[in-house]
Amino acid sequence: MQAVQSPIIPVVGELIQNSPGTISLGQGVVSYSPPPEAVEILPKFLAEPTNNLYKAVEGIPLLLTALTAKLSSFNKIEIKDDNCIVVTAGSNMAFMNAILAITSPGDEIILNTPYYFNHEMATTMAGCRVVLVETDENYQLRPEAIAAAITPKTRAVVTISPNNPTGVVYSEAALRQVNQICSDRNIYHISDEAYEYFTYNGVKHISPGAFSGSNNHTISLFSLSKAYGFASWRIGYMVIPKHLLIAVKKVQDTILICPPVVSQYAALGALQAKNEYLQENIGEIAKVRDLVLDSLNSLQNLCTVVPADGAFYCFLKVHTQMDTFELVKQLIQEHKVAVIPGTTFGMERGCYLRVAYGALNKDKAKAGIERLVKGLQKIII
């Protein structure tokens, strides 16, 4: 455990707590609540006495049926004889399930930088080695570099699209290339799609699990935490090759036994929400995004801001030699605005900041981004 980095969110959270009035552009959550359908269904859970007992490790049948329909309609992933769904306590757990199911200690997992820090942490906890592959100057995948990084110990390549921390959406062509590389090399493609609904400017989400012939080597991870305001309810799910089900159930039964049944009912209700629920809430985030990008334009001399069409993040490259965490501390303590240092996402060279805007309404976001702009203009001279 000493080799595992400490989660950055609580560290920044403590700095915020010690600096009252700070606006947080840190944690990646949304501001809105779950749809009313998530709460309205709960009497059905309470009316069934056996719901107080353990249920199936992979999830209750009602929810599995609803997820099968969602995957078919939105992701174009068909559940057949060679793949299956496992409901998890969030997609972080789904990732850990996957890593423990497919690796032995000493195996390698390829992460593209900047990576999502919990992926790196889980891989290290499993006694595996993280192999880092840099994305290009626009944070897009470099399939040739990924192929070159594969060794006999490689067990999987991980992609995140829409991406955390950069917000970029990977092209279908690049995802197809990576998925084919994994098929050719007999390794897994782990596709993290927690931000699947958060795309802008007409960009469409692509699920590698929908590619023809991908079922036996693709592991797809999903979450209700973001789109459905479900962060604390802890419901995610994974689509896995059927041959991994026994291994994944061993992991899940040991850590969790079964996902919280009350949350599974709530998830079943949430999936019944009208389309307007997602359209309106994500539409409001899109407006905040426009405001954030407009404000960041004034930092062009101080920062590089790569255009991103997904999630609710901007990833800034700050033109400074200053220590990244020291910059984050100064922004909180002197300018009352919090962001996440890029070092936690594997960006050790240079100074990078992740800006999250999903949790704020337009007024709060405007105030927070103004503080960030003024703070950077004052600190980076």
Q: Delimit the domains of the chain by residue range.
A: 8-34+275-379, 37-270
User: Which CATH code for domain 8-34+275-379?
Assistant: 3.90.1150.10
Per-position pLDDT tens, the chain of length 381: 999 988 888 889 899 999 999 999 988 899 999 999 999 999 999 999 999 999 999 999 999 999 999 999 999 999 999 999 999 999 999 999 999 999 999 999 999 999 999 999 999 999 999 999 999 999 999 999 999 999 999 999 999 999 999 999 999 999 999 999 999 999 999 999 999 999 999 999 999 999 999 999 999 999 999 999 999 999 999 999 999 999 999 999 999 999 999 999 999 999 999 999 999 999 999 999 999 999 998 998 899 999 899 999 999 999 999 999 999 999 999 999 999 999 999 999 999 999 999 998 889 999 999 999 999 999 986
Pairing of strands 337-338, 236-241: unpaired
Cβ count near 99 (within 10 Å): 26
Query: How far is it, in rounded angstroms, from Cα 363 to Cα 51?
Result: 43
Structure tokens at 169: 């959406």
Residues 6+ apart with CB under 8 A from 112: 132, 133, 134, 135, 141, 146, 158, 159, 160
Question: CB count, 10 Å around CB of 36?
Answer: 12
Structure tokens at 104: 């032995």
Residue 188's beta-bridge partner residues? 156
CATH number of the 37-270 domain: 3.40.640.10
